[in-house]
């Protein structure tokens, strides 16, 4: 995947999904990333074949293996989004989402995505891939995810105890990889980890006594994300248990907290990392004259996030 596909830029015109407007008309970060996924699939189709055809005719499972986004402006439910995808010299795809607001173009997302076309043993056919997509073809998912710096962990004391020993002060949550989390009758897809990142943040905040609902009612604060990245580390299989740890790394300028998510599966006495993510998270005011502005994290909130005692 070091060569650049000889495909042109692609443009997708879209709207955010209704599901993504959970508080007022603002769209949450997960649906920004869904729009990136949709734009990448449009680029794939215009480069030679869409994901369905690639699987059915070429035996290739399209998979987003890495996606990082910066969100410099808000996206609202009625916005019309222009998504542009351009191949990058290092094999990634540059993605930009923009909207028109008050008569001018506003960039709401800048991101990069990496795509792999995995040879699927169980696919119905295996014709050669379109020429422009050949640089993306890999034998197995691990061919493009093995460079992650997340090492496997011994699970001799059980998965939960072993993870908490390796990640002190982490919040731990496990979930079963159901079929609707998966692609190609086999492995957990990238967007499932995007959903897991959203859910583990919500569960973590509730566990620390500062749930989204409580902060909304008591302070009119809503979650806001300015940066996120979700990256596959290996294939997690259908119906495995995904053990997920979430840790706040730092609080920045009393307005944002920087956190990490790591996902593992337990195999043969080892915890194998299958995904990793980062998120830069804060709160915005939902009502009043300061609506949309960033909230300051006071000492009580910082203590809850970090378990600081001083």
Map 99-130 to HEC letters: EEECCEEEEEEEEEEEEEEEECCCCCCCCCCC
Which one, of 264, 222, 178, lies nearest residue 22 by Cα?
222
Per-residue pLDDT tens digits for 5-42: 446 899 999 999 999 999 889 999 999 999 999 999 99
The verdict on 276 and 212 lying in the same domain is yes
Task: Answer whether 69's CB lies under 8 Å from 111's CB.
Answer: yes
The pLDDT tens digits for 147-159 are 667 788 888 889 9
**Is residue 193 located within the same domain as residue 292?**
yes
The label of the residue with tokens 């995947």 reads 1
- The last residue of one of the domains, among 99, 116, 141, is 141
* Alpha helical stretches, state H, the chain: 29-46, 51-58, 142-145, 159-166, 190-207, 212-219, 299-306
How many domains is the chain built from?
2
Task: Say if residue 98 is in the same domain as residue 167.
Answer: no
CB 54 within 8 A of CB 179: no
pLDDT score of 7: 66
List Cβ neighbours of 299 (8 Å cut-off, separation of 6 or more). none
Q: Identify whether residues 281 and 168 lie together within a single domain.
A: yes
Q: Which residue among 110, 141, 172 closes a domain?
A: 141
Pick the last residue of a domain from 118, 141, 164.
141
Cα–Cα nearest to 112, from 84, 133, 136, 137: 84
Task: Tell me: do 35 and 79 sit in the same domain.
Answer: yes
For position 188, which CATH number holds? Answer: 3.10.129.10
Q: What mean pLDDT value characterizes the chain?
A: 92
- What is the pLDDT, as a whole number, of residue 147? 63
Give the per-residue pLDDT at 296: 94
Residue-range definition of the domain harbouring residue 38:
1-141
Instruction: Give this prediction's pTM.
Output: 0.94
pLDDT by residue (tens digit) across 231-286? 999 999 999 999 999 999 999 999 999 999 999 999 999 999 999 999 999 999 88
At residue 308, the pLDDT reads 58
């Amino acid at each position: 995947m070091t060569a650049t596909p000889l495909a042109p830029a692609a443009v997708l015109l879209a709207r955010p999904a209704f599901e993504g407007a959970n508080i007022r008309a603002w769209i949450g970060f997960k649906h920004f990333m869904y729009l990136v996924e949709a734009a990448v699939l449009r680029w794939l189709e215009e480069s030679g074949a869409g994901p369905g055809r690639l699987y059915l005719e070429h035996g290739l499972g399209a998979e987003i293996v890495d996606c990082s986004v910066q969100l410099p402006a808000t996206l609202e439910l009625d916005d019309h989004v222009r998504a542009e995808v351009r191949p990058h010299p290092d094999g990634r795809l540059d993605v930009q989402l923009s909207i028109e607001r008050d008569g001018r173009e506003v960039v709401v997302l800048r991101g990069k995505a990496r795509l792999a076309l995995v040879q699927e043993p169980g696919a119905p056919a295996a014709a050669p891939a379109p020429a422009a997509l050949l640089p993306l073809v890999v034998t197995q998912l691990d061919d493009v995810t093995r460079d992650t710096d997340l090492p496997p962990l011994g699970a001799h004391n059980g998965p939960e105890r072993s993870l908490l020993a390796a990640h002190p002060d982490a919040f731990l949550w496990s979930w079963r990889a159901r079929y609707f989390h998966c692609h190609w009758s086999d492995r957990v897809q990238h967007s499932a980890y995007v959903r897991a990142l959203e859910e583990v943040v919500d569960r973590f905040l509730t566990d620390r006594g500062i749930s989204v609902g409580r902060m909304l009612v008591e302070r009119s604060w809503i979650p806001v994300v300015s940066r996120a990245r979700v990256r596959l580390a290996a294939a997690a299989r259908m119906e495995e248990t995904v053990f997920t740890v979430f840790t706040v790394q730092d609080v920045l300028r009393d307005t944002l907290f920087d956190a990490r998510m790591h996902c593992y599966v337990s195999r043969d006495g080892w915890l194998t990392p299958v995904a990793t993510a980062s998120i830069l998270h804060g709160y915005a005011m939902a009502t009043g004259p300061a609506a949309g502005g960033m909230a300051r994290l006071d000492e009580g909130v910082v203590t809850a996030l970090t378990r600081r005692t001083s």
